[in-house]
Structure formats: structure tokens, C-alpha cells
Amino acid sequence: MITRQELSHVLNSIGLIDCPDQLERVRAEISRAWARLDVAKSRKFHIGQDVVFKTRRGMVEQGKIVKFLPKNIRVKISEGGTWTVAPSLLTPA
């Protein structure tokens, strides 16, 4: 996610934003857009579905969807652990 300072710098450098209120409205709208994308992506999955995802350390894990959370999906992997994963990181197996 882009930080407020990074967003401010980019928008100021191209002359789009010069007021903190405008910057906050742009940041909030970007956050809402990302949330809508995640919700749309999570609708493509169902409980019990086999999925694959890559961890932060680059390992590929495979598991089954066990629960939908407001922003993420809980996946039980074959080794017995559970992961909370963003829908955008999941791929059907």
C-alpha cells in the first residue's frame, strides 16, 4: 500500500493536489477501490475449494478454503496449519 507521503509527493509533483483535504479524499477513494477489487475476487471462490498461494518468503502453499473473513480468506494447508490470505493472492488449484 502506498503511504500518505508517497502519494502526496507524486500528486504534488504532477500538479494535481495542493491541499491536504484533497489528498485525504484521493487516498480514501484508492483504499475503497482496492477493497472493492478484493471483494469481487473473493466471490470467485467457495468453501472447500482447493487453492494455491505464495507466502512472503516465496514458498508455494496449497490448501482448502475453510472460512471467508470480511477482507481475507482463511485457508487450511495440508501440513495442518491455517493461513489468512488476501483473495488477490489466491489461485484455484
Question: pLDDT tens digit string along 5-46?
Answer: 776 677 667 666 666 677 777 778 877 777 776 666 667 899
Domain housing 71: 50-92
Task: Assess whether 58 and 36 both reside in one domain.
Answer: no
Number of domains in the chain: 2
CA 50/CA 36 separation, integer angstroms: 23
The closest of 26, 68, 78 to 47, measured between CA atoms, is 68
- Segment 79-90, tens digit of pLDDT: 889 999 988 899
* Rg of the chain taking only CA atoms, in angstroms: 17
54 and 84: one domain? yes
Looking at residue 61, which CATH number applies to its domain?
2.30.30.140
pTM over 0.75: no
Q: Please, what is the angle between helix 4-13 and helix 20-42, to 10°? A: 120
Do the beta carbons of residue 75 and residue 52 sit within 8 Å? Answer: no
